[in-house]
Every structure is written in C-alpha cells, then in structure tokens.
A and B are shown apart, each in its own frame.
Chain A
C-alpha cells in the first residue's frame, strides 16, 4: 500500500510531542498507519469511532478533563461533523485539533472523493476555522505544534489538511 509510513510516523511523533494523549479516529486508507501507531502505543488512548461527530464530543470531554486530544478523519467525515463542530466545539469554546485527510484534490483517482474535495476549504472558511495544508514532511512538526498552540490559546477548532503529496507515495 503506497500510504507513506514514514510521513505517518512523522505526523504521529509530532502529535505526541504536542502533548496529544487521546486520539479518536475513523480511518480511511490514508490514515491506516496513523491509527495503527496510536493503537500500538500504550501511552495513547485510541477511540475507534462509528461516526466522526462522536469524536467532537469525546474531544470536548477529554479537554474539560484535562487531556489533549486529536481527531483523525477524512474530509467527508469533517463535512458530516459540521453541526457538532458548531454546536459543541465552537459554542462551548473547545480547542479541537482536527487532522483531516484531504481527498479529492489534484491527482485524485476515486471519482466519489471529488465532490467533497471541492467544498472542504470553503466549508472550513465558512465556519471560520483556521486551517493549513500539510503537503511536505518539512512543515509537519512545526505546523502541528503551531496548530495546537493556537487552538489552546483561542479555545476553538483548528484543522490540518493531510495532503496527497504527504500521505501517498505514487508508484512512478
């Protein structure tokens, strides 16, 4: 499978050094290594979700209980979670670190991913959620730490978009 295990490890290590101790996830192809790393780590609490919006509630609870968390989901899971982001995370000023695999961009081969790809950034912007693309290993560690810092300071959700160039190793 050409999902980059090396970059997944880089992302995971950055999450840990940013203080993340709980990860809730609904995996898709690009996220399998990341979920596996959380599963294998005795220091990490991994919650496997049935639907992404549960993760908003779990992260809110964990935050109020003093534990930093992150969510791993596809952009379609983010789109499915919009009400919970608005009605819980934003309404109650909950810092929420969302790592969103950004399917449906240039290079996408799956037709079913393409509509969601086109509306992800407009929806993030409409919600006023600060976001940044992670498209190169060189920006991973600092961006994750910076996202956590901002989220902890403004008590609001932030999004990091895990891009194809980072997550997928095309066989050339």
Chain B
C-alpha cells in the first residue's frame, strides 16, 4: 500500500481528533488530504512525535490523540515506546508507517526494519496492550476504527511502499501551526485541561 492512500483512507476517522505527525513526506501527505487546526506537523526533533502525543494524551484524557509515526522515527526513540506503554493512556493511537527506508534522504538508506527489526514486536514487548501490523488499506482502516473505539493504547504498524510526495509543501508556517494547534485543543473536548489556570 502507498502511504498517501493509507492516510486518505483513515482521514475521515482521524480528522476530528488530535493528530500529531512526523516531518517531511508524512506531514506533507496529511496536509495534502486537507489541513485542520487540530493537526500538528512536527517538522524536526525526529523521534519525539510519539512523546508529544503522550504528553497531550496525559494532559487531556477527554481527547483522542493519533500519532502518525515512521519506522526511522520510532527507531530513534525506542525507549519512548516503553515510556508510552508504562504510562498507558487509553486515548492514544500510534500509527507507524513503515517503509523500511529513510525516504527523505533517498531509498538507498534502509532502516533495520528492512532486515531484522519488527516494530510491532518491539511495541508489544515494550508493553503496548494493543498492537497490529497492516499490509492493505482496508485492513488499516478497520484497525484504526477498532483502535479508536477500543479505548486502549494502540500501536499499529502500516507497511507501506517507499514512495513519497513530489513536494513537502505545508502551509501554515511551523509557528502558525503551533499556535493554531494550541488554540484548537482549547476548544476541543468536553472537559477543562487538568490544572488549566487560564480558564
């Protein structure tokens, strides 16, 4: 499956929730499906999208948080999987698009998932209670729907082809996105954030 097709297929399920995506191709493909102020494109700090998602999920248990991650990013922050599992927020779904390469530097630099590593296995043995690996778009859509309905921390690995968009164009600017995202979160959900002193 192509990642862009996968993102298009799950877009209706995730669009009304909090979404944090990794940089580059994944961010650009999500943007191409339609920007929303509740989407945050983490354009740097590779590996920390899942940590950001964890912070949001713990701070706002009334919201569902979806992290669009990648094999290269997850491998940079493997300890973060165990931290996520240990904290275990039920409102967090991590979707790892595994294309087995660091695509933004070209297909020649493969990651360890091309040879030996299995991210679903690492997530499961780190203690993530729900895990899955999907190879087809329809399968992924069902998996994401079930994860969002389950109310349980989930990691889904989506095996995708190593192809990306022609352009990494995103508008809003990073800082504009940061502030609109913060504002969007204030308007979402049904409860005040824990410890919010400004409301």
| Inter-chain contacts of A171 with B (CB < 8 A) | none
Cβ A50 vs Cβ B55 within 8 A: no
CB contacts (< 8 Å) of A60 on chain B: these are 48, 51-52, 55
Instruction: Report if B105 contacts A (CB, 8 A).
Output: no
Instruction: Return chain A residues, CB-CB under 8 Å to B193.
Output: 65-67
Docked Cα-Cα span, A91 to B45, in Å, equals 9
Nearest CB on A from B13, distance (A): 21
The answer to whether the Cβ of A7 comes within 8 Å of any Cβ in the partner chain is no
A56: CB under 8 A from chain B? Answer: yes
List B contacts of A48 (CB < 8 A).
Answer: 83, 86
- A48 CA to B127 CA in the complex, in Å? 14
Interface size on B, residues (CB 8 A): 41
Say whether A64 contacts B54, CB under 8 Å. Answer: no
A54 & B59 in contact (Cβ 8 Å cutoff)? no
Asked if B174 contacts A91 (CB within 8 A), the reply is: yes
Q: A57-B55, A67-B196, A88-B48 are in contact. Are A51 and B174 (CB under 8 A)?
A: no
Chain A interface residue count, Cβ-Cβ cutoff 8 angstroms = 34
B63 partner residues in chain A, CB cutoff 8 A = 65
CB contact list, A78-126 vs B, under 8 A: 83-84, 87-88, 91-93
Q: Is the beta-carbon distance between A92 and B178 smaller than 8 angstroms? A: yes
Known: A64-B40, A64-B178, A92-B174. A54 touches B80 (CB 8 A): yes
B42's partner among A22, A51, A88 (CB-CB below 8 A) is A88
Q: Is B195 located at the chain interface by the 8 A CB criterion? A: yes
> In the assembled complex, which residues on chain B have CB atoms less than 8 Å from the CB atom of A50?
79-80, 82-83
20 more CB-based (< 8 A) A-B contacts, given A22-B59, A91-B44? A19-B195, A49-B79, A50-B82, A53-B77, A56-B48, A57-B45, A57-B54, A57-B55, A58-B54, A64-B178, A65-B56, A66-B182, A66-B198, A67-B193, A67-B196, A84-B45, A84-B48, A87-B44, A92-B178, A93-B175
Task: List chain A positions with a Cβ less than 8 A from chain B.
Answer: 19-22, 45, 47-51, 53-69, 83-84, 87-88, 91-93
